[in-house]
Amino acid sequence: MSFRKPAQPGRAPISTTPASLLFAFLCVNLVAVLAVAGCAAPGQPITRRPPAPTPISDLSAHQVGNSVSVTFTLPKQTVQGRPLTAPPQIDIYRQFVPAPAAAQRTSLAPPSQQIVTIPPQTLQQYRVGQPYSFSDVLSPSDLSAHAGSEAVYMVRTRAGKHDSENSNLVAVPIFPAPRAVTDLQAQVTRSAIILSWTPAETPEAAATLGPVSLRYRIYRSSNTRAATSTPPLNPVTGASAPSASIPFEQVAELSEPPYRDANFTFGQTYAYYVVSAAQYAAAAVESKASPTVEVTPRDTFPPAAPTGLVAAVAPATASTPAHVDLSWNISAEPNVAGYNIYRSTADTVSAGRWDRLTRSPLLTPAFRDIPEVSGKQYFYRVTVVDTFGNESAPSASVNVSLPATSE
């Protein structure tokens, strides 16, 4: 005879078979595994790495005047491949190190001195993937103490509380820079646009670094959008420098002013600026750009006077009245539009009165004049006119006496 314990009210009887115990054990362990794996709340995002920006890899730097221009492209996304929705903070590092000999160059160590933090609020024109430039102005003490050394630069960015990895490292030789040209002027002549300026002085402290020579680099733009008397401001640094959007090109380098630009077209607008460059044995350092000068050359220069004017008198015939045939040398001037013929008489030439005989310039160097009155002395001269409307001085005059017509 067997006895079974009665079930308590509201509870189902608990099975104590081995299969039931095994199932309960497996459920408990499965819940523990899911909790450790982070799957206790399905659909909840998991962050395994901090959302740091991708590191900058195109850092470059070069000295301009007494500043170093540090340029780089801001990151587009995080290391997870997600796009950055706001500008990151920028941290720039710099350290001066002795300049090694070329054969002793080793890998660079990351600089430890943070020189500036650019908060994201100041990057109002933030555009992902676009290059930015920062101007590191070197103090006189830095230039004096580290002339001939190298400045090593590194950049990090920060999104929220997460820093990027270090950027690539760049080393820039530091040398005393020449003064910028401040009085650039342009003059238009018939054959060239002439640029002139006051020569720069040799940089201070240059003598301690060996031989140095000064050169001048001329930059020109024929883009009419370059119409400005002062180079535009850099949107990040606020420094005055020619805008990268204006296509300036270096057209010459010379040791002293002036510069003659003979490759120009009248009526076309040109803009110029000049950069001084100090050439050391190891490198060249440019000054800041001079103010831009803009010039639109106009041809207001008259051609040279014609030569070789001769006059021949032809007496009257039964079919032709007496006349004067004029001829002269073809003008060698460019842009010749034609020739004008002027006549005077013995009564008016002393008073300087000359009457033009041509309504429009002649295309050929020949003209026949049939005066209305015969038996008088006539004086002739000719001018040349170019396509800009400039008229030359008159040629040497010739005179003839037209025989009187017999009754």
284, 336: one domain: no
Check if the beta carbon of residue 283 is closer than 8 Å to that of residue 174. Answer: no
321, 344: one domain: yes
- Using the predicted structure, report yes or no on whether residue 23 has a pLDDT greater than 80: no
What CATH number is given to the structural domain containing 87? Answer: 2.60.40
In a domain? residue 215: yes
pLDDT digits (tens, 9 = 90+) for 143-152: 888 888 999 9
pLDDT digits (tens, 9 = 90+) for 84-142: 888 889 999 999 999 886 556 678 899 999 999 999 888 765 555 678 889 999 998 88
- Using the predicted structure, report yes or no on whether residue 40 has a pLDDT greater than 50: no
More confident residue, 236 or 177: 177
319, 285: one domain: no
192, 229: one domain: yes
79, 131: one domain: yes
- Using the predicted structure, report yes or no on whether residue 75 has a pLDDT greater than 60: yes
In a domain? residue 24: no
User: pLDDT band for position 364 (50/70/90)?
Assistant: very high
- Using the predicted structure, report yes or no on whether residue 378 has a pLDDT greater than 50: yes
**Confidence at residue 387, expressed as pLDDT on a 0 to 100 scale:** 92
Smallest Cα–Cα separation from 283: which of 98, 140, 149, 92? 149
In a domain? residue 10: no
- The structure tokens listed for 302 are 């008259």
Q: How many domains does the chain have?
A: 3
Smallest Cα–Cα separation from 215: which of 239, 250, 242? 250
Per-residue pLDDT averaged across 337-363, rounded?
94
In a domain? residue 224: yes
| C-alpha triplet 341, 346, 348: angle, nearest 5° | 70
**Confidence at residue 96, expressed as pLDDT on a 0 to 100 scale:** 94
**Confidence at residue 237, expressed as pLDDT on a 0 to 100 scale:** 32
> Which residues are CB-neighbours of 265 under 8 A, at least 6 positions away?
297
207, 290: one domain: yes
Check if the beta carbon of residue 243 is closer than 8 Å to that of residue 207. Answer: no
Among 185-189, 237-241, 289-293, 403-407, the least confident range = 237-241
258 upstream amide cis, omega within 30 of 0: yes
- The structure tokens listed for 12 are 């189902």
284, 317: one domain: no
**Confidence at residue 120, expressed as pLDDT on a 0 to 100 scale:** 86
**Confidence at residue 233, expressed as pLDDT on a 0 to 100 scale:** 34
167, 198: one domain: no
Among 13-17, 71-75, 220-224, the least confident range = 13-17
317, 337: one domain: yes
SS3 349: helix
In a domain? residue 5: no
User: pLDDT band for position 224 (50/70/90)?
Assistant: low
pLDDT digits (tens, 9 = 90+) for 238-257: 333 444 456 899 999 999 99
Q: What does each C-alpha distance from 310 to 307, 352, 380, 397, 402 come to in angstroms?
A: 9, 21, 9, 9, 15
What CATH number is given to the structural domain containing 241? Answer: 2.60.40.10
- Using the predicted structure, report yes or no on whether residue 11 has a pLDDT greater than 50: no
Among 65-69, 130-134, 274-278, 298-302, the least confident range = 130-134
In a domain? residue 47: no
266, 214: one domain: yes
**Confidence at residue 238, expressed as pLDDT on a 0 to 100 scale:** 33
- Using the predicted structure, report yes or no on whether residue 20 has a pLDDT greater than 60: no
- The structure tokens listed for 269 are 């607008």
End position of a domain, from candidates 142, 173, 204: 173
Please identify which residue in the block is written with the tokens 């040349």: 384
pLDDT digits (tens, 9 = 90+) for 178-223: 889 999 999 999 999 999 999 988 776 666 677 788 999 999 998 7
End position of a domain, from candidates 123, 151, 173: 173
Mean pLDDT of the chain: 82
SS3 7: coil
DSSP label of 218: E
- End-to-end alpha-carbon separation of the chain, Å? 180
- Using the predicted structure, report yes or no on whether residue 36 has a pLDDT greater than 50: no
Among 159-163, 169-173, 303-307, the least confident range = 159-163
End position of a domain, from candidates 151, 173, 195: 173
Per-residue pLDDT averaged across 366-391, rounded?
93
**Confidence at residue 386, expressed as pLDDT on a 0 to 100 scale:** 94
The boundaries of the domain holding residue 387 are 310-401
Check if the beta carbon of residue 132 is closer than 8 Å to that of residue 235. Answer: no
In a domain? residue 241: yes
Q: What does each C-alpha distance from 249 to 242, 257, 272 come to in angstroms?
A: 11, 19, 9
194, 275: one domain: yes
User: pLDDT band for position 225 (50/70/90)?
Assistant: low
In a domain? residue 54: no
143, 78: one domain: yes
In what helix (H) or strand (E) does residue 141 lie, and over which residues does it extend? helix 140-146
pLDDT digits (tens, 9 = 90+) for 305-331: 999 999 999 888 888 888 999 999 999
